[in-house]
Structure 1
Amino acid sequence: MSHTAHIPSHRKPRQRASKSALRAGVAGGVLSTIAVAGAAGPAQAEPVTQTIEMPTITSGFSTAVAASAQATQQVALDLETQADEDAAAEKAAKTAKKAHAEAVRKAEAKKKAEAAAKARAEAKAKERAERASRTAERTTLSASSGSSDSTGSSASAPSSSSNVSGSAASIVAFAKAQVGDAYVSGGTGPNAWDCSGLVQAAYRTAGIDLPRVSQSQSTAGTQVSLDNLQPGDILYWGGAGSAYHVAIYVGGGEFVGAQNSSTGTVQRSLDYDRPTGAVRVL
């Protein structure tokens, strides 16, 4: 026996190398080739483990992901900016529409105001013409009453068949001249009256001072029947001493009075609004 017979050999049997290669091939596809190459010689095992550069692949992937995230963020910012611009444009459109509507409203209001001013001017001109006509009528009646006083005869009111004295004619003429004037509570002329203000002013033309309010005017003279009225008599509505309205009888079954804010000063038949009683001051 050789003196080296008991020393085991350091060479691997080929059969074991084949089995290792087979196992490696079954275990891992491409890695089996690497395993076989490693079994053929220890010098080739080390380079194989260094050919996989995972850090380089991972680094490139991270860069791509980062770039994709940045691109996504930019798209989001762009969309947000576009949304803000769209909202601003919508707000500007609404503001412009509102401004246009306001301009149209102001233009219409101005047009209406101009039309109303024109109507008022026309009404005023008409009122002045009517007042001039009434003044002329009053002057004529006053002249007629003066002629009647100087001759001792009586004159008739235009709308009455009764004889009218000078003072009564003056009162009637004044009252008729105010027909068409406005009614204003507390009004005492010259273009607006309440009922007792008109009666007081009419009697003042005859030199007679009456109390200011209708309650006192309804007891300022002698009570007379409505069937025995004379031009110039004071008509009242309500009780004597508690009347709420007064007017002047102008003859011919008619009266003149400042009725209310809707009608103003009017000349009406007694049947239009039958009075409660009458009082004679003259």
Structure 2
Amino acid sequence: MSHTAHIPSHRKPRQRASTTALRAGVAGGVLSTIAVAGAAGPAQAEPVTQTIEMPTITEGLSTAVAASAQATQQVAHDLETQAQQDAAAAKAAKTAKKAKAEAVRKAEAEKKAEAAAKAKAEAEAAERASRTAERTTLSASSGSSGSSGSSASASTTSYSSSATGSAASVVAFAKAQVGDAYVSGGTGPNSWDCSGLVQAAFRSVGVDLPRVSQSQSTAGTQVSLSNLQPGDILYWGGAGSAYHVAVYVGGGQFVGAQNSGTGVVQASLDYDPPSGAVRVL
């Protein structure tokens, strides 16, 4: 053995022929491609279109979003409903307040009207009451109507004592009720108030008079108390505001439903002189 046999050789190891050939072929192909590209001139770049796919929302996330949107809509609906309810409540409160004020005003007006009516009734009652003591003797006076009639005729101007036709029927009806009771609002057949008796007397001959004294005092032609005829309507108070009426029966006498103490009586005009008279027949 040579004395240098154990020393490694410094020569590079030979590459395998196949590897060397492959590398040479690749290099050649690359150079050929570059050469062809250079000869063909610069290539025009084509636009690159790239599609980016968005991540797909999972089924759970979609359900959550839908639920959130529904909840938002429900909250909005609830708020709108509450606002409508608040507006309706405010309107109802305002209406109730206005109605209450109107009711109070109406009640006060009715109270004032009642007070005025009561005051008027009391005044009329007081005026009638001033004659009550004297009227309690009317029944006795009617029993002696002949002498009373003579006295009345002596102190007045030409009262007629004769009655004919419808006037005679009115007088007869009125006299027939003497002794009946006086009842406020009474229209017969056994109890009367003053205007109820007068109305019924004229109705007996087919004449329909108003129901109350005030209207009866203007139902016919105004006549003088010095020129009375049987069947004329006598009234006390003003024409159109009379508080009492009766029927003149002739001879200076009248028949009227006076008050609850005397009932229906026949009495002298001198006892309680009327304010005026109207002639219907």
- How high is the TM-score relative to the length of structure 2? 0.44
Whose relative contact order is higher, 1 or 2, with alpha carbons under 8 Å and at least 6 apart? 2
Q: Report which of the two has the higher share of helix.
A: 1
Which is greater in Rg? 2
- How high is the TM-score relative to the length of structure 1? 0.43
